[in-house]
Structure 1
Amino acid sequence: MAARDYGQYSGISRAVELIGERWALLIVRDLLVAPRRYGELAAGLPRIPSNILAARLKELQAAGVIRRAPRSRVIVYELTPYGRELEPVVLALGAWGFKAMGEARDEQVITPASMIMDLRSAFQPAVALELPATAYAARLGDAELFIRVNGSALDVSGGEGPVDIAFATGPAIHRLISGELAPRRAIETGQVEVLRGRGELLGRFASTFHLAA
Structure 2
Amino acid sequence: MKRRDYGQYCGLARALELVGERWALLIVRDLAVRPHRYTDLLDGLPGIPTNVLSTRLKELEQSGIVERRVAPAPQRGVLYTLTSVGRELEPAIFALGRWGAAHTGEPRPGEIVTPESLIMNLRGVFNAEAAAGVTATWEVRAPDLVVHLAVTDGKLEAGVGPAPGEPDLAIAFQPDGLPSYWELTRAAKCGLVELSGRRELLNTFLHLFAIPQPA
Superposition TM-score tier, normalisation by shorter sequence:
0.7 to 0.9
Match of 1:135 in 2: 137
Q: Identity over the aligned pairs, expressed in percent? A: 44
CA distance in 1, matches of 2:26, 2:106: 20
Give the gaps of 5 or more residues in structure 2. Answer: none
Shift of 1:2: 6.1
Shift of 1:163: 1.6
Secondary structure at the counterpart of residue 58 of structure 1: helix
Match of 1:151 in 2: 153
1:166 aligned onto 2:165: no
Match of 2:211 in 1: 211
CA contact (8 A) 1:42 1:53 kept: yes
CA contact (8 A) 1:128 1:149 kept: yes
Secondary structure at the counterpart of residue 130 of structure 2: helix
Match of 2:3 in 1: 3
Question: Aligned ranges for residues 1-213 of structure 1 at < 5 Å?
Answer: 3-72=3-72, 73-131=76-134, 133-158=135-160, 159-160=162-163, 161-169=165-173, 170=175, 171=179, 173-174=181-182, 181=186, 183=188, 185-187=189-191, 190=192, 193-213=193-213
Relative distance call for 1:70 and 1:208 in structure 2 (3 A) is: same
Question: Which amino acid in the other structure matches residue 103 of structure 2?
Answer: A
CA contact (8 A) 1:176 1:206 kept: no
CA distance in 1, matches of 2:187, 2:42: 35
Relative distance call for 1:15 and 1:182 in structure 2 (3 A) is: same
CA contact (8 A) 1:110 1:143 kept: no
Relative distance call for 1:140 and 1:96 in structure 2 (3 A) is: farther
Question: Which 4+ residue blocks in structure 1 deviate beyond 3 angstroms?
Answer: 169-172
Shift of 1:144: 0.2
CA distance in 2, matches of 1:4, 1:106: 30
How many residues are aligned here?
A: 204
* Structure that is richer in helix per residue: 1
TM-score (norm 2): 0.85
Secondary structure at the counterpart of residue 26 of structure 2: helix
Which has the larger displacement, 136-145 or 79-88? Answer: 136-145
